[in-house]
Amino acid sequence: MSHPHPELGPPPALAEGGLRITPLGGLGEIGRNMTVFEFGGKLLIVDCGVLFPEEEQPGVDLILPDFSSIRDRLDDVVGIILTHGHEDHIGAVPFLLREKEDIPLIGSKLTLALIEAKLQEHRIRPYALEVKEGDRERIGPFDCEFVAVNHSIPDALAVAIRTPAGMVVVTGDFKMDQLPLDGRLTDLPAFARLGEEGIDLLLSDSTNAEVPGFVPPERDISQVLRQTFDRADKRIIVASFASHVHRIQQVLDAAHEHRRKVAFVGRSMVRNMGIARDLGYLKVPGDLIVDVKVLDDLPDEKVVLVCTGSQGEPMAALSRMANRDHQIRIVEGDTVILASSLIPGNENAVYRVINGLTRWGANVVHKGNARVHVSGHASAGELLYFYNICKPRNLMPIHGEWRHLRANAELGQLTGIPKERCVIAEDGVAVDLVNGVAKIAGKVHAGYVYVDGLSVGDITESSLKDRRILGEEGIVSVFVVVDSTTGKLVGGPNIHARGSGIDDEAFAAVIPKIEEGLSRSASDGVLEPRQIQQLIRRSVGKWVSDTYRRRPMILPVVVEV
């Protein structure tokens, strides 16, 4: 089992006839999935998704893959294959197409409909090629065959990429539900056929590799939903991903059986469910859906709201309800169903929302106390079964944190894949497939690119560190006026603190230290404002640390006269 090393340098020129695979996101994390394939001087991208920020990334809206390694080669990109319509696989497409609008998008009907609706907001009209399972398309030098896989969104596809260097199969996100709601199974006969032909490298979903056994069928949730609806005597509010069509279908079915009306809340939920309904993926009885504006005219026991916010996102509808910052007010007796999993890193945010909802009297049903979610990703038993069917010569785990990637590689070894042929990479690590062997070749830069409002890439790790300090320790500003000729103090220091928990009056104790330091620096001929700022920063910082054991941001302002 090979893995990248911190000292990896840039990859050398690709060997003639070789295929290079470079993940720019999705390895070592859950989200931001993007992989670049290079052959014959051309590039093919599979997925282009976003990662959602965690608490230590304050103010950040989205995290994108780093396009810098391919920015100078966008003319060589022959297409972007989108395996399915979840945000962690399509969310960054608008940002890439901003840089070159005519890169073709290839995906299934629902996937393309979801991304095209998103691109309309960015005023981008893409060139799109719709494909379905069983289709085979030539995309530049890449011969691509699409295979049906079952996931938590309809129309998901795996892709087999054939080149003279060998065949690579990318599973995308998948599981092997044997009783899918839409009857669309993961096409195991197709994977067996590809295995017989010879899969040189398999890139496989790792999210549930640590979980033993098989994922329960999606339809198991129906009974739990019905029981929850039976017990609820007031409003029911269901929070789910805005793209989880299968889950929403079960909610609609339960609402229809209990003669309740359903309203969608949240722009992405309204948009995506409208698309799914128009395309026939969501079956909705004629009078079931109502506008949220008419809810006040309906009795509580006849209402179901379906909204976003199952991951505790601060601006999503459910979080705002929990914070009393939404037009829909949670009241005693409401039932709230969180019909989704906890994405790693979001646990605290989700439990904060659960506590907020419970505080206002809601009965909160979630994965921890009822089976209201089943995963969309294959567990260990399914992966073992899958590898025995595919018989890949090399395995590269994708889509998962480090523990998931390693667990997936170990499953591959159990099925007979040699340890040295199980390649654990990370974002930016280039893996070359040459003469049937996959090996790590080097590393390109693949850092986080932060989206903050309209700003893309302007926020740095240093900026986030400053934000964390401001949020945790506060800020102390120190204003002084000095003589530009002598460097002597003319006015101030005036000191003000915000968010530090220290009263402005307390800083009287440090003013003599600042005055003494400035007098000494003036005697030494220090006239440069930046040096004076540093002196003030050290004096105040040391005093605050010694006195209060705190480390606020110190902001000296030096005015010369």
Annotated binding site for substrate: 373-377
Write b or e for each residue in 38-75: b if 16 or more Cβ atoms lie within 10 A of its Cβ, otherwise e.
bbbebbbbbbbbbbbbeeebbebbbbbbbbebbeeeee
Q: CA dihedral defined by 350, 355, 357, 360, rounded to 10 degrees?
A: -170
Residue 122 phi, psi dihedral angles, 5° rounding: -95, 5
* Nearest in space to 154 (alpha carbons), one of 89, 95, 221, 84: 84
Q: CA dihedral defined by 125, 126, 132, 135, rounded to 10 degrees?
A: 140
Sequence-distant (6+) residues with CB within 8 A of 128 are 104, 105, 106, 107, 112, 116
Pairing of strands 261-265, 363-365: unpaired
Alpha-carbon distance of 214 to 193, in angstroms, equals 23
- What is the identity of the amino acid at 2? S
Report the 10 Å Cβ neighbour count for 503.
Answer: 9
* Nearest in space to 153 (alpha carbons), one of 197, 117, 121, 109: 109
Helix (H, G, I), strand (E, B) or coil at 34: strand
Bridge partners of residue 237, in order along the sequence: 305, 336
Alpha-carbon distance of 536 to 479, in angstroms, equals 10
101 and 126 Cβ atoms separated by less than 8 Å: yes
Residue stretches of the annotated binding site: 373-377
Report the 10 Å Cβ neighbour count for 481.
Answer: 15
195 and 388 Cβ atoms separated by less than 8 Å: no
Rg of the chain over CA atoms, in angstroms? Answer: 28
223 and 371 Cβ atoms separated by less than 8 Å: no
218 and 240 Cβ atoms separated by less than 8 Å: no
DSSP codes joined into one string, 246-309: HHHHHHHHHHHHTT-EEEEESHHHHHHHHHHHHTTSS---TTTB--GGGGGGS-GGGEEEEES-
Helix axis angle, 529-548 to 511-523, nearest 10°: 150
CA 359 to chain centre: 29
Pairing of strands 19-25, 77-81: unpaired
Strands of 65-164 (E only): list them.
Answer: 77-81, 105-107, 128-130, 136-139, 142-148, 157-163
* Nearest in space to 111 (alpha carbons), one of 144, 156, 150, 71: 156
Q: Cα dist. 490→487, 511, 526, 556 in Å?
A: 9, 14, 15, 15
